Amino acid sequence: MTMNARRRRAHHRLAALPGVRPVRRPVRPGSDEQFDLYYVRTGRKSAHPLVIIPGGPGAASIALYRGLRRRAAAEGLDVIMVEHRGVGLSRHDDHGADLPPEALTVDQVVDDVAAVLDDAAVEKAVVYGTSYGTYIAAGLGVRHRDRVHAMVLDSPLLSARDIDAVREATRSLLWDGDHPETAALAPKVRRLVDADVLSPAATQLAMAVYGFAGPELLHRQLDLLLVGRRWLWSGMAGVTRFALERKAPYRHEPDLVGRIGYRELNYGAVPDGKPFDPAVAYHDVGAATTQFEQEPFDLVADMPTFDWLTVVISGGRDLITPLTVSRRVASLIPHAVLVGMASAGHSILDLRERAALDIVKAIYEGTVASLPARAATLDAKPAGFGVRALVWAIAAVAVLESSIPHKARAS
């Protein structure tokens, strides 16, 4: 999307916000052609600021996380966020054209973070990555290890082979019902799949509802589907497709950078042909045009060399980057502290911000060793108002849909 007048106005408005500044970066490795990569710093400056790297790829930083930075600064945190190349303020070259595909690689994104630390005169930082952002954070540890003071890996990715753990966790919980809170869900899932009501691609939506809203709301939605009521499910499926595929300027722009996930991190893993495969949805979205080639790091080999304080956070209901992956990450990094939050889903930063900030503060206060014992207390921290309001709205619509007379039933 070439820079147009409307986008230019939004660009100038965001670039003028307090703490926002550009740093010149090469468009391609070794190229003399450069572009403006933007970042923002909020709060009282400190020796080891908190660098937050959101998920995606496609999530912007400057506009999308203004509230988070404001709340973090109010608690005394010095926060830096980098606008990912190919997204938002960092989307265009000097001529207003989109950055080319060869500009968009994990290696270059990692080097961008180091360049921002140089520009901000920061020697070492506390690096917090969530989801895809954990791979960038770990990549910084591999390529620029002297810049890391401490690290938080929230809902971490480990390798292109994570899909095997995702399949195992998803099928164990939602297909086989191996956990007490999903034992009654699994027969409904199997019945709906057998009746072709739950398509393979709908696996992702069931995973999201379970992690985001919990088993009770998923129970209610499956009961609606079993009697042929599909309004709410169709609406949520549309929202999910929007989140994965559509662009919200300066907030969520996966159209250029999504190729990173497919080409380097195997987001579009080949389906295994078995029922309830979470790979199907991602494969259908992007793998037809962007095939997996090779991931940039071998984190299984590199993580044992990480010698800084590391906290690994995992949600017990996270089926996007499940607990088994987080446990392995924690086992690979010497002296890593694993914090499991039983009722949380994917990305504690986004769904349980209060808990995420408490974990960060424990790093600065030197109380990380106490975090596992505090896991239940952290898990009980409420989600933000926006998250709670959305869960309430979904529940209210489910009640409304169930109250409308309807005769059709799934076979």
Map 159-185 to HEC letters. Answer: CCCHHHHHHHHHHHHHHCCCCCCCCCH
- Could you list the beta-strand ranges (E) of 66-147: 79-82, 125-130
Query: What domain range includes position 141?
Result: 5-160+297-384
- The answer to whether the CB of 284 falls within 8 A of the CB of 201 is yes
Residue 182 counted as domain residue: yes
Residue 104 counted as domain residue: yes
Q: What is the pLDDT of residues 382-399, one digit of tens each?
A: 888 777 677 667 667 666
* Greater model confidence, 336 or 289: 336
Closest CA to 221 of 194, 245, 197, 195: 197
- The answer to whether the CB of 182 falls within 8 A of the CB of 158 is no
Same domain, 253 and 302: no
**pTM confidence score:** 0.93
Q: What is the pLDDT of residues 137-151, one digit of tens each?
A: 999 999 999 999 999
Residue 411 counted as domain residue: no
Same domain, 156 and 96: yes
Q: Identify the helix (H) or strand (E) that includes residue 8.
A: helix 5-15
Same domain, 118 and 73: yes
Same domain, 142 and 244: no
Length of the chain: 411
Same domain, 21 and 151: yes
- The answer to whether the CB of 402 falls within 8 A of the CB of 222 is no
Q: What is the pLDDT of residues 55-110, one digit of tens each?
A: 999 999 999 999 999 999 999 999 999 999 999 999 999 999 999 999 999 999 99
**Whole-number pLDDT of residue 227:** 81
Domain count, the chain: 2
Residue 410 counted as domain residue: no
Residue 410 banded pLDDT, cuts 50, 70, 90? very low
Same domain, 134 and 180: no
